[in-house]
Chain A
Amino acid sequence: MAPSFDTLSEQDLHEEEEEEIDFSDLKEQLDVKLDEGLDTFVVIDGLPVVPEESRQKLVKFLLRKLNTVGNTSEDAVFMPVSDKGSTEGFAFVEYETPEQAIAAVKQLHGVPLDKKHTLSVNKLMDIERYGREGRIEEEYVAPELEQFKEKEHLRSWMGDSNARDQFALYRNDKVGVFWNNKANPAENVVDRAHWTQLFVQWSPKGTFLASVHPQGVQLWGGASFSKQKQFPHPFVQLIEFSPLEGYLTTWSARPIQVEEGQPILTYEEDGKNIIVWDIETGKPLRSFVSHDLAAGPADEGEVQPKKKVQWPAFKWSADEKYVARMLQGQSISIYELPNMNLLGKTSVKIEGVNDFEWSPATVTREGVKQYEQLLCFWTPEIGSNPARVAMMSVPSKEIVRTRNLFNVSDVKLHWQSQGAYVCVKVDRHSKSKKSMATNLEIFRVREKGVPVEVVDSLKDTVINFAWEPNGSRFVLITTGENPVGAAVPPKSSVSFFAPEKKGNTAGNFKLVRTIEKKTSNGIYWSPKGRFVVVATVHSQSNFDIDFWDMDFEGEKVEGEKDLAANLQLMKTNEHYGVTDIEWDPTGRYVVSSASVWTHSMENGWNLHTFAGQTLSENPTEKFKQFVWRPRPPTFLSKEEQKQVRKNLREYSKEFDEEDRYAVDIANTAVVEKRKRVLNEWLAWMRREKEMSSEEKEAFGYPEDVDSPKLAKDAPTNVDDQGDAVVEEIVEEIIEETEEVIG
């Protein structure tokens, strides 16, 4: 048997490793071809032993079960009768197709027939293969129980005494995991060559690090980053974790070809592109053919170039109970976990559906008692029907709120992280379709009846939008019409919005300020809110990174007094060629990076504080990826968190002390090291001097043998006169005047 993914050793993950030619897999293939005709047969064991007369009755009774998974008939059931005139307790059954036979094995094996008898269903082929003479030991040997091995703690990194964060760094062929040490060089945890082939990705709570190989996905975890789980999806290209790390979706453009002998993938996965895996068991839950965006009804199996992949293809509800996929223009299919069955056995038909988003948190609407998850979707104008944004409650599949829109050219749905608001960004065209404008329609999900607030229309197109995490403010970037093919990047404006102060609830959303004449295109909120980084990324000429504070502790600007924000630009940095910006999970640090995936100039990453102070610059050859390890949510209750906040001063004193101490230690270490190095150097010089004077003596050379005067026939016109003073007389004409006398 060819080496399966399960038995892969570290080296097998590297492509350059030449595999030995293994003929057994060829043999296996030939074997299969021989008994291909028996694919449709199953062997049923565990039947009651009945006299020949009642055989017919038993077959009929059995057929009722057998036909639940496929089609077979009385003629196709062969139940042999022994010499004693009674059945043997087993039967051979032929199904119409091999798939049905497989289904029978899957679903009927271990199913009780009556109180006394339980069916065991096997493929005839399997019995042939595994039960052939010689393959089974005559005597039963108890399998050896594997010794219990303590597994590594998957969250060990959370126990760091200094509450440092980890990050994964992918550069050249190497992936390393490091501790962030502020301005000091990061401390390496592991560094492995060829750890991944495409990219690395952390799971959403930071438990696993996923590496992506042609053989599949490998999850790593624990203090030493040992192998945790494998998901053998051949030629996997994209992966997506569910929000609580229970499931993993993998996608490959190439339809899966299941080979015989693959222990994990079965015929069900054959020809599919997407697999939804259960991370705990490492088994596929269900597999799908991918729908491509804007490719109309998907041509199954055929891969056409230029089709856009819809990714993430499967979107998860916040609690992982549901996962949904859209067939563009037609329907949304919602599957229930953990069995991955279609909710209510049918997809939700929505004509023209263009996009949908789950609420990122479980929301309780006012006046709604039963459990629900919300999802938002939109449909464009079809004929005379207006475009529509709607909110659906799951599992009831009830539409709880809709809003009709006109002259729509595009819609983007933005949920706030707690699910409190959905901002629907509507790009509108005028009747003549010549000018564009953008509307923001904000659904207040928690309030009664889900009121919608319309934020005044913006003349320019909105190119980016982001909610403050756990907050009610947002930032958007607009840009004017950019001339086609212009060399200069289009100018953009950054606008900050905040609600009016109104007691406990958030009032109407109002513009705080607009910064004109920027080139920014990226918005990066601190995961804890309040601070936001607005930057120009992927640009060839502008690389500014602005660090904003939304709650500046200082005088407020007149006219913004009634808004729940005090905007202040803290710092502007520049990072040449910046392509990515990422906040650490605690909102203390920001990393800007320039990846070789985008361009090859000055690749590397810089570490900044939340306020924009640059702590370190790390130019790195062939730098590819920087990813902070996410943290799981805190265990502290709201009260405890409040307590921490209240005592912040006390704690910070302690930490400041520690920091000072660390600096002292580091300084002393540097001085010590320098002293040592200097002394070593001086000692080396002394030794060299001694040795060379010894040599000179041994050869009978005078001390100044290297002097040119001693070269045999060199002219001795060089005199040692010490430093000569070079005098130079420079005439400078200060003024020239011409006088005409006469």
Chain B
Amino acid sequence: MRPILLSGHERSLNQIRFNKDGDLLFSVSKDKNVCAWWTANGERLGTYAGHQGAIWTVDVSPNTVILATGSADNTVRLWNIKTGECVKVWDFPTAVKRVAFSPDGSKLLAVTEKRMGFLGTIAVLDIAYGDGQGNNLDSQADEPSLRITCTESKATVAGWSFLGKYIIAGHEDGSVSQYDPKTGDQLENVQAHEFDHQINDIQFSADRTHFITASKDKSAKLMSARELAILKTYTADTPLNSASITAKKDYVILGGGQAAMDVTTTSARQGKFEARFYHKIFEDEIGRVRGHFGPLNTIDVHPAGTAYASGGEDGYVRIHHFDKGYFDFMYEVEREQLRK
């Protein structure tokens, strides 16, 4: 599994996303630029320039027409992927830490930071796709259609469940909550992780019936979107920044490492800068991939399950296309199941 090393960023990576076809990879980092890459060979397709601060988050619309980014310059921007133009800027009072398109692409959620007297919010924006040919993308509503304010503990990450039926958010205090995206009501709140251990990532399975959370408490949890039941727990020995569910094979990939600010005081072997593979159903660790020399900040899996990419504090993105061995690996019980 030889990685393709993408070195286009000057500072640490914050988020990477494959598009639905898996031929493109978008990455954002603290250096204010969005990069788009061909996943097949790692060639850079281009950049989207315009943000004035570190970019925290990126998401691609399901039809790969619009790219959304959220930044420390308190804006959410929409970009025309094809042309690279910025088609819309929304201003928020605080930094935007997470954006996510709903499964049908008609809505975008934005998680805003709690700062300077403003409470953390989740804003829902309606997205229009112009004339259907990629033109007139700039005719977007100016105001969010919904605002959910987090009074208890600020949301750090959020995403959409199947059918866009729920908004699921992970909080700073380690809890996970479920909101109704029509009314903004909180339907459920579960203390999934250890108290006061921030949830750093939420990613959904392909069918969006379940999702995985990665937390500072050194564990990742697989939860059902419908009732927020904890289905599986994956325990690591280091704080986790990102977790992803693989398609095709029943694995999950976790990434993390000693927090960047602590790294200098500990030895290199302490860092644990590896991507860890766990079996999704049996919760066993089945492998690790080394390579980064800083903590892994973000991981995303190719929608077809044939590759994954990781972005690190070290400023590199690594794309790994899986080998045959990866697909062949199977537990005896799974093999039996298959034969039946």
B209, CB-defined interface residue at 8 Å: yes
Distance of A715 Cα from B269 Cα, bound (Å): 50
Contact B231 A684 (CB under 8 A): yes
Interface residues of A in 664-686 (CB under 8 A from B): 671, 674-675, 677-678, 681-682, 684-685
A619, CB-defined interface residue at 8 Å: yes
Interface residues of A in 558-594 (CB under 8 A from B): 576
Q: Check A678/B337 contact, CB under 8 A, given A708-B105, A714-B63.
A: yes
Contact A726 B331 (CB under 8 A): no
Contacting residue for B281 out of A678, A711, A713, A728, CB 8 A: A678
Distance of A691 Cα from B105 Cα, bound (Å): 23
Contact A726 B23 (CB under 8 A): yes
| Chain A residues near B104 (CB-CB < 8 A) | 705-708, 710-711, 714
A311, CB-defined interface residue at 8 Å: no
Q: Which residue of A lies closest to B39 (CB)?
A: A726
A268, CB-defined interface residue at 8 Å: no
Give 1 or 0 for each of B16-27: 1 = CB within 8 Å of chain A CB.
000011010000
Contacting residue for A706 out of B103, B132, B133, B331, CB 8 A: B103
For the complex, would chain B's binding face be called helix, strand, loop or mixed by DSSP majority?
A: loop
Contacting residue for B209 out of A692, A710, A714, A724, CB 8 A: A692
| Chain A residues near B269 (CB-CB < 8 A) | 576, 602
Q: Check A671/B333 contact, CB under 8 A, given A576-B269, A619-B237.
A: yes
Contacting residue for B132 out of A576, A715, A724, CB 8 A: A715
A186, CB-defined interface residue at 8 Å: no
Contact B266 A715 (CB under 8 A): no
Distance of A576 Cα from B210 Cα, bound (Å): 39
- Interface size of A by CB at 8 A reads 39
The number of chain B residues touching the other chain, given as a range, is 35 or more
B44, CB-defined interface residue at 8 Å: no
B189, CB-defined interface residue at 8 Å: no
Q: Which residue of B lies closest to A602 (CB)?
A: B270
A349, CB-defined interface residue at 8 Å: no
Give 1 or 0 for each of B304-336: 1 = CB within 8 Å of chain A CB.
100000000000000000000000000111101
In whole Å, how far is B283's beta carbon from the nearest beta carbon of chain A? 8
| Chain B residues near A602 (CB-CB < 8 A) | 269-270
B106, CB-defined interface residue at 8 Å: yes
Distance of A716 Cα from B132 Cα, bound (Å): 7
Contact A688 B209 (CB under 8 A): yes
Q: Check A692/B61 contact, CB under 8 A, given A602-B270, A671-B333, A705-B104.
A: no
A300, CB-defined interface residue at 8 Å: no
Give 1 or 0 for each of B206-228: 1 = CB within 8 Å of chain A CB.
01111000000000000010100
Contact B231 A728 (CB under 8 A): no
| Chain A residues near B224 (CB-CB < 8 A) | 684, 688
Q: Check A709/B63 contact, CB under 8 A, given A692-B162, A695-B163.
A: yes
Distance of A677 Cα from B233 Cα, bound (Å): 13
Contact B282 A674 (CB under 8 A): yes
| Chain B residues near A674 (CB-CB < 8 A) | 282, 331-333
| Chain A residues near B90 (CB-CB < 8 A) | none
| Chain B residues near A716 (CB-CB < 8 A) | 63, 132
Give 1 or 0 for each of B128-163: 1 = CB within 8 Å of chain A CB.
111111100000000000000000000000000011
In whole Å, how far is B250's beta carbon from the nearest beta carbon of chain A? 8
Q: Check A601/B132 contact, CB under 8 A, given A706-B162, A711-B104, A724-B23.
A: no
Distance of A675 Cα from B282 Cα, bound (Å): 10
Q: Check A688/B106 contact, CB under 8 A, given A678-B334, A696-B163.
A: no
| Chain A residues near B207 (CB-CB < 8 A) | 688-689, 692
Q: Which residue of A lies closest to B332 (CB)?
A: A671
Distance of A701 Cα from B165 Cα, bound (Å): 13
Distance of A497 Cα from B304 Cα, bound (Å): 66
Contact B63 A715 (CB under 8 A): yes
Please, could you name 17 A-B residue pairs with CB atoms under 8 Å apart, sorted by A? A601-B266, A674-B282, A675-B333, A684-B224, A706-B163, A708-B105, A710-B104, A711-B63, A711-B106, A712-B106, A714-B63, A714-B129, A715-B63, A716-B132, A717-B133, A723-B304, A726-B41
Give me the 4 closest cross-chain CB pairs, A-B, nearest first: A708-B62, A708-B63, A715-B132, A706-B103
